[in-house]
Amino acid sequence: MRFFGRILASAALMVGLVVGYGPVEMSSAAAYHLEHCNFATKHTKRITGHPATTAYRGVADGAAAEWNRSRATTHVTVRGGGVDIVSYDHNYGNTSWDGETFYTCSSRHTVSSTVTANLNRYYADHYTHLEKTIVLTHEFGHALGLAHQTHTGCHAPPIMTPSALQPYHDCGRKYPQGDDIRGLSAIY
């Protein structure tokens, strides 16, 4: 798939911290990458969607539910109606990404304000409701502290695959998978 989510961080608040694809924590049983910037505790994350059109109504709630549906719920829980994570949908044009996540990070590697996850309507307007939800689920993974995890094959392809819809289009997988959950376990 041509499009992929990306992480942007506020340079002004990134003192002493390089954000990118962090060190690979990998073994034969687990593989995940961390942003090395995340919420400080495993408190319940409050998520609010701000749908610009009816087509995006419920997407944020659905993406939150994707995480709660998974075994990750034992490590992190997300709920509607709050300001830990907010999501918006706008037409950002032909940018090559369909979703993106913004955060600012403290020197203690914790997010220092509300995390924003955006869907780019230039692409996402052509997606099904499920596809919109999958992309935002991937973005919420970034918001929770997960970085991209490259994967091949259809055995539990992570939702953090760089091309967020690839596990669904190639393998029919639409939920966070084992590596995603092990990554959250390592954080929280």
Q: Judged by CB under 5 A, which stretch of 2-10, 22-30, 39-47, 82-90 contacts Zn ion? A: 2-10
Query: By Cβ distance, which residue is nearest to Zn ion?
Result: 5
- Could you tell me the smallest distance in angstroms from the CB atom of residue 148 to Zn ion? 5
Assess contact for 5 and 97: CB atoms under 8 A.
yes
Q: Cβ closer to Zn ion: 78 or 134?
A: 134
- Closest contact distance (angstroms) between CB of 99 and Zn ion is 7
For position 178 contacting Zn ion by CB under 5 A, the verdict is no
In whole angstroms, what is the distance from residue 99 CA to residue 113 CA? 19
Comparison of 97 and 188: residue with beta carbon closer to Zn ion: 97
Region near Zn ion per CB under 5 A, out of 1-9, 17-25, 122-130, 178-186: 1-9
Amino acid occupying residue 5: G
Q: What is the dihedral of CA 92, 96, 100, 106, to 10 degrees?
A: -110
Select the span of 3-11, 75-83, 86-94, 108-116 touching Zn ion (CB under 5 A).
Answer: 3-11
Contact 85, 63 (CB under 8 A): no
Nearest distance, CB of residue 39 and Zn ion, angstroms: 18
Q: What single DSSP character describes residue 54?
A: G
Interface residue with Zn ion, options 3, 5, 59, 136 (CB under 5 A): 5
Cα separation, 145 vs 171, in Å, equals: 24
d(CA 121, CA 132): 10
Are residues 40 and 103 in contact, defined by beta-carbon separation less than 8 angstroms? Answer: no
Total of residues contacting Zn ion (CB under 5 A): 1
In the complex, which residues of this chain contact Zn ion (CB under 5 A)? Answer: 5
